[in-house]
Amino acid sequence: MFKIAVIPGDGIGTEVTSQAIRILKKASRILNEQFEFVELKAGGIAVDTFSKPLPDETLKAALSSDAVLLGAVGGPKWDSLPYELKPEQALLGLRKSLELYANIRPVIMFDALTESSSLKVDVVRGIDIVVVRELTGGIYFGKPAGIRHLADGTRRGVNTMTYTEPEIERIAHTAFKLAKTRKKSSRSPAERDGAKGAHEIPSKGSFGFAGKVTSVDKANILHTSMLWREVVNEVHKSHYNDIQLDHMYVDNAAMQLVRNPKQFDVILTENMFGDILSDEASMLTGSIGMLPSASLGEKHALYEPVHGSAPDIAGKGLANPIASILSAAMLLEYSIKQKELAKKIFRAVKCVLNEGYRTSDIAYDGCTAVPTEKMGQLIEQAFTM
């Protein structure tokens, strides 16, 4: 029995999560193993029901589950609430309490979607990048933080970016181990779309082909980044000499991602840079609706699409469930150790896209536009052993 805490959240979170559950239920039948789904509230819906974005019951259930599957939180309805009540606090609270310091965001271009990207086909064909984002430190959590009144009556907003050596060390290990499992130069398109060495995080050792880590910082300006660069270099030198390590300033990285994204393999970066760069990277693949993520710690794991709650399209059947479905695949791989099954889901998505089915975010002329639920059903049908 495997216990999955399900937190659909707000907006399209609920719609996409039900499609991911459809796939997990099929996986449970295939594996002949029971999954217990415990549905919980967090985000705006929890503010409406319990007057807090992350109710104790939700946190408790998340802490005692084997994995958490999350949809998305937030929406204009709750935007003007005080800081502690904002739906986004649910996410930050979960990340911090579950100590989910490693956020893994694979950015993969499906061949069928090259036309959906806003960049030229040649630039994006075959993209296979993973963003490794530090998730429990940096400016998101640093103290002091807040808005204070100054003596002259004006206000001053403060956030603090901090990183300790151990925080940098552990995320650097995550990125290097991940790079080890990737055999970039030799990967065939089928492996690229299906096998996804990227999903195999704690490394069992190199496959014999060096991967590459690009550590992104702002070490020409920020002290946290100077320390970041030093520690990443130390971890590299002492453990991962077979992996290529490059450093890049974040402004340049943002530019290189659209200039020549295929130069990247594993991008290692701190919390806020990772937030921004992963949204940018998502557009390479055609839509942010395609990007899954895993947030991993030593004891817990949470899986969620990178996209937000998209209140403008919520409830209309327009949402793309693929990011959530691929997040479920990551859950199967990392938390249930069913890598083969995860690959099968990946291939099912690929197959449905190759057949020309699209949700509206990735649709163009000549494709069959389908609503959220239909996309989920098609992927479920294509997902066979």
> Taking CB within 5 to 8 Å according to partner kind, which of ligand IPM, Mg ion, none is near residue 88?
ligand IPM
Measured from the CB atom, the residue of 224 and 327 that comes closer to ligand IPM is 327
Measured from the CB atom, the residue of 200 and 275 that comes closer to ligand IPM is 275
Our answer to whether residue 218 is catalytic in this structure is yes
Measured from the CB atom, the residue of 195 and 267 that comes closer to ligand IPM is 267
Q: Which two tokens stand for residue 232?
A: 């990443």
Q: Minimal distance in Å, beta carbon 323 to ligand IPM?
A: 11
Helices vs. strands in the chain: H and E counts, helices first: 13, 14
* Active-site residue, selected from the candidate residues 26, 177, 196, 218: 218
Q: Minimal distance in Å, beta carbon 278 to Mg ion?
A: 6
Q: Minimal distance in Å, beta carbon 194 to ligand IPM?
A: 26
Our answer to whether residue 361 is catalytic in this structure is no
Provide CB contacts within 8 A for 35, sequence distance 6+. Answer: 1, 2, 3, 4, 24, 25, 27, 28
Query: CA 269, CA 133: separation in Å to the nearest integer?
Result: 5
> Taking CB within 5 to 8 Å according to partner kind, which of Mg ion, ligand IPM, none is near residue 349?
none
- Half-sphere exposure at residue 80, Cβ-oriented, CA atoms within 13 angstroms: 1
Q: Minimal distance in Å, beta carbon 206 to ligand IPM?
A: 30
Measured from the CB atom, the residue of 21 and 306 that comes closer to ligand IPM is 306
Binding site for ligand IPM (CB under 6 A): 74, 88, 91, 275, 306, 308
Q: Minimal distance in Å, beta carbon 275 to Mg ion?
A: 4
Provide CB contacts within 8 A for 289, sequence distance 6+. Answer: 305, 307, 319, 320, 322, 323, 359, 361, 362
Contacts of Mg ion in 274-333 (CB under 5 A):
275
Measured from the CB atom, the residue of 197 and 308 that comes closer to ligand IPM is 308
Question: Is-contact 43 90, C-beta < 8 A?
Answer: yes
Q: Which two tokens stand for residue 49?
A: 């029901």
Nearest residue by C-beta to Mg ion? Answer: 275
Residue 144: asked if its preceding bond is cis (omega within 30°), the reply is yes
Provide CB contacts within 8 A for 120, sequence distance 6+. Answer: none
* Active-site residue, selected from the candidate residues 101, 140, 334, 357: 140
* Active-site residue, selected from the candidate residues 251, 312, 316, 337: 251
Our answer to whether residue 339 is catalytic in this structure is no
> Taking CB within 5 to 8 Å according to partner kind, which of ligand IPM, Mg ion, none is near residue 261?
none
Q: Minimal distance in Å, beta carbon 140 to Mg ion?
A: 11
Our answer to whether residue 83 is catalytic in this structure is no
Please give the angle made by the CA atoms of 197, 198 and 199, to the nearest 5 degrees. Answer: 90
Q: Minimal distance in Å, beta carbon 124 to ligand IPM?
A: 21
Query: CA 147, CA 150: separation in Å to the nearest integer?
Result: 10
Our answer to whether residue 251 is catalytic in this structure is yes
Q: Provide the 3-class DSSP secondary structure of residue 264.
A: coil
Contacts of Mg ion in 262-281 (CB under 5 A):
275
Nearest residue by C-beta to ligand IPM? Answer: 88
> Taking CB within 5 to 8 Å according to partner kind, which of ligand IPM, Mg ion, none is near residue 91?
ligand IPM
Terminal C-alpha separation, the chain: 21
Please give the angle made by the CA atoms of 155, 52 and 321, to the nearest 5 degrees. Answer: 105
* Active-site residue, selected from the candidate residues 66, 279, 339, 374: 279
Measured from the CB atom, the residue of 92 and 367 that comes closer to ligand IPM is 92
Measured from the CB atom, the residue of 275 and 304 that comes closer to Mg ion is 275
Provide CB contacts within 8 A for 188, sequence distance 6+. Answer: none
Q: Which residue has the tokens 């690959």?
A: 343
* Active-site residue, selected from the candidate residues 275, 303, 357, 361: 275
Task: Characterize the bridge pairing of strands 212-217 and 2-9.
Answer: unpaired
| Residues designated catalytic | 140, 218, 251, 275, 279
Point out which residues bind Mg ion (CB under 5 A).
275
